[in-house]
Amino acid sequence: MEEKTLEEIIARYDSPTGKVLGILGDIQRSEGYIPRETLEMLSVKIDVRISQLYSIVTFYSFFSLKPVGEHVITICMGTACHVRGAVGVLDALESLLDIHGDTTEDGKFSVTTKDNKFTVEIARCFGACSMAPVLQIDGTLYGYANPDTLPAILEQYGWRAA
Amino acid sequence: MTGVFDRAAGEVAGQKKILPGKPRIAVGLATCGIAVGGEKVYERLQEIIKKTDADISLTKTGCIGYCREEPLVNITIPGKPLVILHKVTEEDAEGIVEAVKKGTVPYKKALCRVPSWDHVTGTVITYGNGFDEIPLYADVPFFKHQKKVILRNAGFINPEDIDEYLAVGGYATAEQALTRMDSETIISEVEKSGLRGRGGAGFPTGMKWRITRDAPGAAKYIICNADEGDPGAYMNRNEMESDPHMLIEGMIIGAYAMGAKKGLIYIRAEYPLAIRRLVHAIGEARALGLLGKNIIGAGFDFDIRIATGAGAFVCGESTALVASIEGRTGRPHPRPPRLTDPGGGLWGIPSDLNNVETWCNIPVIIRNGSGWYAKIGAEKNAGTKVFSLVGKVDRVGLVEVPLGTSLNTIVCDIGNGGAQGKKVKAVQTGGPSGGCIPVRLFDTPVNYESLNAVGSIMGSGGIVVMDEDTDMVDIARYFINFATGESCGKCVPCREGLRHTLILLNRLIARKGTAKDLETLALLADTIKNTSLCGLGQSAPNPVLTTLAYFREEYDALVKP
Amino acid sequence: MTQGKTGTELAEPPKKPVTVSINGNAYRADEGECLLTVAERVKIPIPHFCFEQSLEPYGACRLCMVGVVHHGKTVMETACTLRAKEGLTILTDTPDIVKYRTILFELYLAEAPKSAVVKEMAARYGVTKTRFLRRVDTGDPLGGACVLCGLCVRVCNEIMGAGAINFINRGPYTVVNTPFTEPSRDCFGCGACAAICPTHAVRIEDRDGVRILHSWSETKVPLSQCVSCGKYFAPAALEKSVLSRIEPPLRDDLAGLCPACRAKKLAKKEILAATGGDPGDA
């Protein structure tokens, strides 16, 4: 991220209330993750220890230090979705994309396909429980997801069956 | 720049939009409506109306709560009842416009008709009569037992237009409170109403307001907890997306009563549409002199700021929430000091924290009086509550009923029992902090004490239905896995206790567990519940404790003989 | 003795004496005094890891739970957050407390299996083994002895102000270390983290003029060498920081000298001054 862009983001927050998470959220949304250099630049600009910022970024699920692929698929694993088969949807998704995800030692779940086209992550609840199971791709929600409807959805994002 | 407050002009403008003297089509565009194609329906309708040069007003509205039937579309033909169409697709758009142009509606897509609607804050909108073959709203099984107080405007007004909120009585109560009532009167009314915190703890709201107001120091904060972390619960999301102004109005009244100049809404990052609609609504309110300096000309300054969360369920806990706003990790701290004590709130200033839904009740209480409110609901449990009825239930959606309504009524009468004809086995109330209640206890009234008595909690209002195919030990593991992932990790019983509880459950499910393991499971659950630092740890074992109590046979079946 | 933030205690009004009851015996305390402090003072054993006098009660270890008797009912609370007031009645070994404390110690034994301090403390309260799976981490920079009490983080950030280390991740994935698990640029090697760690898990080594903080990603901090005797005596950055807060001529008397040589120099100065010699000759 360019220094000027970061300064513009920082300038949106005129009060310490909600500032740090707000700035980090804007960076995450803009870049898809938090680049290390941006975090270090931010530490200097807002005078907060890098250890504190790193602690925050690793604590909250919303932030990622790893770059993501072209498209980010987030599967909801909330209660309503779990009860309606979200685990099966995740398994089917991993099978179609030929990836295997697991919670890593930082407690987060994020796995990217070898060709860097898709990153699969997990969310705790989008609040669209009435159409469980739910998945989100690049910010668009898809309700009533099931293994059979997945290929058609993925194809819209450039996936092709092997 | 604060504008000058003039209700009248906006109210008149809003009335003309709701009843424009020509046909009006309103597409339900809250998150679930959009997730099943609502936006495409809107765009197609827009296209056709333009192409055919039809004199039809097209707008968007929120969600009336019958989520299973989304996308929903309202049709208002002058002189006729408002008609709600359901499961509308792009392909239906042409037929809709054609019918509307002829002064009618496509009967095949009609769910129900609404001859008039009481918006509970002093306004009744009369639409008209006719279309008698279409069922009345009050006769639709999903709606029949509901009582709309909080969701009084949801699905009827355009949430992005303050004029429509004004047209249904909006902000008249704030005006009344700030110009003709004093702090003591307002707080006393809230106390007498019996309103209890709708975030789950059920603490008497009036009492919390009084404590905040009386805390030492002139500076106070009021905070809205819009983190709604319980998976399966989305009441607050709908409240904010469908009627953001009722939250703002409630906070204005509360701020005035408690003497707070600054209000904060802490909202989860996973609700981008709610955030957008709130930001827009706050802008509209400022422009109309409802926020900022000398609001409503009453000599009182107050403004609202939004702070976003970042994916941490624990930030629904009050001290963690405040830490998050202050730019720290969401690790709770022991009390005292409480949020309302000096040194304990946001930036050390006494702060009142209330859930979205609690704030949304305030305008109706002040408008209609504490006596009116106290009559709704049950003893010590006044008012209505919105519940999200989800999972393996036939009619999925948001249900608003008076407190004290039984689980039977909610799950069977309103929800119509199990989806696809399956038998209902249990419900989980209160999210991951709650417990599983078996079907044989469904005559339990839904109120704070009764749910506690059966080992669960009311929580924020999520009701997840489970059927005969649901494995209850798997459910217990699901919740422990959730709690483990969301634990802040500060205290040992929660961090280490849940870690080992998960190991035990996995061992049991893999059929490698013993009877001793079941004993340890119960002892661990008991320890975590009684020694954890905060509510997350203290309630995390509830799913295990209730499934052990009510579904012991499923655990026993997994254990080596 | 009052609880409060470090270093900024002003002169306080006299404390009102109160009587509290612990396990049926009456004890004197100052009103508002922290119960854990009272118990320690009167030698009643209550276990704890995360309590530190100069910091606010933290509430992480949960070991100091006691039963507070009120209107015939006993409610469990942490002693570190209880304040003495007239008539406060507590019990330290109710059956419930013993039950929960046992499980907690078993959890500690599983979490920090290499810690002698944990083993010894648990044994004092009757817990010598654990039914839970022991943590196995052969590469653990804290030697399998960390109980995540948070004291090192809090001392580094809130008292020393360096902010070199902090919590990373959350829940069972929580660890304490430097950002990106790389040597810290903010650490000035004071060693307060190791001094305060209740399980002695933090490993620091002084070697060849360098302080190596093994636990914090092998952060290396140069040590100052005494210009008189050649001994390495303090981290250079810490010495510089301390000297910057002292006015001359004292500053010049102390700069570059180890404590022993400082004492010698100052003593010489005083003797010369007292005997009419030139202190500048010291």
Reported as a single tens digit per residue, the pLDDT across C98-124 is 999 999 999 999 999 999 999 999 999
- Contact (Cβ atoms closer than 8 angstroms) between residue A21 and residue A63: no
Sequence letter at residue B162 = I
Which of 3.40.190.120, 2.60.40.1180, 3.40.30.10, 3.40.50.170 is the CATH number of A71-155?
3.40.30.10
Residue whose pair of structure tokens reads 């509830």 in the numeric block: B542
| N-term to C-term CA, chain A | 35
What are B118's two structure tokens? 């009481």
**CA–CA gap between residue B200 and residue B188 (Å, rounded):** 22
**CA–CA gap between residue B374 and residue B408 (Å, rounded):** 24
Mode of pairing for the β-strands spanning C210-213 and C219-225:
antiparallel
Q: Of C157, C166, C172, which is closest to A54 when you measure between CB atoms?
A: C166
**CA–CA gap between residue B27 and residue B158 (Å, rounded):** 9
CB contact under 8 A, C173 and A105: yes
Residue of C nearest to B520 (CA): C131
Which residues of B fall within a CB distance of 8 Å from C169? 489
What are C141's two structure tokens? 């920079």
Q: What is the 3-class SS of chain C, one letter each residue?
A: CCCCCCCCCCCCCCCCEEEEEECCEEEEEECCCEHHHHHHHCCCCCCCCCCCCCCCCCCCCCCCEEEEEECCEEEEEEHHHCECCCCCEEECCCHHHHHHHHHHHHHHHHHCCCCHHHHHHHHHCCCCCCCCCCCCCCCCCCCCCCCCCCHHHHHHHHHCCCCCCEEECCHHHCEEECHHHCCCCCCCCCCHHHHHCCCCCCCEEEECCEEEECCCCCEEEEEEECCCCCCEEEEHHHHHHHHCCCCCCHHHHHCCCCHHHHHHHHHHHHHHHHCCCCHHHC
Which residues of C fall within a CB distance of 8 Å from A55? 166-168, 179
Which residues of C fall within a CB distance of 8 Å from B319? none
Q: Over the range C146-182, which residues count as b (16 or more CB within 10 Å of their CB) and which as e?
A: bbbbbbbbbbbbebbebbbbbbbbbbbbbbbbbbbee
C280 or B303: which carries more pLDDT confidence?
B303
- Residue B83: strand pairing partners: B75, B113
What are B559's two structure tokens? 């254990």
Q: Which residues contact B185 (CB under 8 A, 6 or more apart)?
A: none
Q: What is the predicted pLDDT for the residue at B1?
A: 43
What are A75's two structure tokens? 């599967």
Closest-CA distance, C34 to chain B, in angstroms, reads 12
CB contact under 8 A, A54 and C168: yes
Which of 1.10.540.10, 3.40.30.10, 1.10.357.10, 3.30.565.10 is the CATH number of B19-141+154-163?
3.40.30.10
Judge residue B291's burial from the number of C-beta atoms within 10 Å of its C-beta, 0-12 exposed, 13-18 middle, 19 or more buried.
buried
Helix (H, G, I), strand (E, B), or coil: what is residue A55?
helix
Per domain, the residue ranges of chain A are: 3-59, 71-155
Closest-CA distance, B137 to chain C, in angstroms, reads 48
Q: Which of residues 79-138 of A touch B (CB under 8 A)?
A: 79-84, 103, 107, 123-132, 134
The pLDDT confidence band at residue C76, using thresholds 50, 70 and 90, is very high
Q: Of A52, A54, A106, which is closest to C173 when you measure between CB atoms?
A: A106
Instruction: For residue C128, count other CB atoms closer than 10 A to its CB.
Output: 11
Q: Which of residues 167-186 of C touch B (CB under 8 A)?
A: 167, 169-174
Residue of A nearest to C161 (CA): A49
Packing angle, helices B244-258 and B183-193, rounded to 10: 120
**CA–CA gap between residue A58 and residue B483 (Å, rounded):** 17
B558 CA to centre of own chain: 38
CB contact under 8 A, B530 and C172: no
Q: What is the predicted pLDDT for the residue at C195?
A: 97
Report whether pLDDT(C2) > 50.
no
CB contact under 8 A, C172 and B489: yes
Report whether pLDDT(C9) > 60.
no
Q: Of C104, C172, C173, which is closest to B527 when you measure between CB atoms?
A: C104
Report whether pLDDT(C11) > 90.
no
ipTM of the complex, rounded to two decimals: 0.93
Nearest Cα to Cα of residue B189 among B361, B355, B352, B353: B361
CB contact under 8 A, A106 and C157: no
φ and ψ of C113, to 5 deg: -65, -20
- Contact (Cβ atoms closer than 8 angstroms) between residue A61 and residue B310: yes
- Contact (Cβ atoms closer than 8 angstroms) between residue C204 and residue C256: no
| Spans in chain B with pLDDT lower than 50 | 1
Which residues of C fall within a CB distance of 8 Å from A59? 167, 169-170
Q: Length of chain B in residues, anyone?
A: 561
Q: What is the predicted pLDDT for the residue at B533?
A: 97
Which of 3.40.50.1000, 3.10.100.10, 3.40.50.11540, 3.20.20.100 is the CATH number of B171-372?
3.40.50.11540
Report whether pLDDT(C1) > 80.
no
Q: Among B325, B469, B484, pick the best mutation site for testing chain A contact (most A Cβ within 10 A).
A: B325
CB contact under 8 A, B36 and A18: no
Q: What DSSP string describes B273-318? A: HHHHHHHHHHHHHHHTTSSBSSGGGSS--BEEEEEE--S-GGGGSH
Helix (H, G, I), strand (E, B), or coil: what is residue B76?
strand
Which residues of A fall within a CB distance of 8 Å from C157? 49, 51-52
- Contact (Cβ atoms closer than 8 angstroms) between residue C51 and residue C80: yes
Q: Of C166, C172, C184, which is closest to A55 when you measure between CB atoms?
A: C166
What are B462's two structure tokens? 């999520």
Whole-number CA gyration radius for chain B: 24
Query: Which chains reach chain C with 3 or more Cβ–Cβ distances below 8 angstroms?
Result: A, B
Q: What is the predicted pLDDT for the residue at B3?
A: 57
Lowest-confidence range among A47-56, C109-118, C252-261? C252-261
Write down the CATH number for the domain with range B382-467.
Answer: 3.10.20.600
- Tell me which DSSP letter residue A81 carries: H
Judge residue B432's burial from the number of C-beta atoms within 10 Å of its C-beta, 0-12 exposed, 13-18 middle, 19 or more buried.
buried
What are A2's two structure tokens? 């360019």
Whole-number CA gyration radius for chain A: 17
Write down the CATH number for the domain with range B472-556.
Answer: 1.20.1440.230
Q: Of B35, B229, B233, which is closest to A131 when you measure between CB atoms?
A: B35
**CA–CA gap between residue B531 and residue C60 (Å, rounded):** 10
Per domain, the residue ranges of chain B are: 19-141+154-163, 171-372, 382-467, 472-556
**CA–CA gap between residue B255 and residue B252 (Å, rounded):** 5
Mode of pairing for the β-strands spanning C17-22 and B462-467:
unpaired
Longest pairwise C-alpha distance within chain A: 52
Q: Among C48, C108, C132, pick the best mutation site for testing chain B contact (most B Cβ within 10 A).
A: C132
Give whole-number Cα distances, A161 to A134, A150, A153, B459, C194, in Å. 22, 11, 12, 44, 56
Nearest Cα to Cα of residue B196 among B376, B321, B63: B376
Nearest Cα to Cα of residue B186 among B354, B355, B360, B366: B366
Could you report the per-residue pLDDT of B319-339, keeping only the tens digit for each?
A: 999 999 999 999 999 998 999
What are C91's two structure tokens? 């019990």
What are B463's two structure tokens? 């009701």
Q: What is the 3-class SS of B166-179, one letter each residue?
A: HHCCCCHHHHHHHH
Computed over every residue of chain A, the mean pLDDT equals: 93
Residue whose pair of structure tokens reads 């685990």 in the numeric block: A87
Closest-CA distance, A61 to chain C, in angstroms, reads 9
**CA–CA gap between residue B489 and residue B496 (Å, rounded):** 8
Partner A contacted by B390 (CB < 8 A): yes
Q: How are strands ordered across the β-sheet holding C232-235? A: C204-207, C210-213, C219-225, C232-235
CB contact under 8 A, C170 and B488: yes
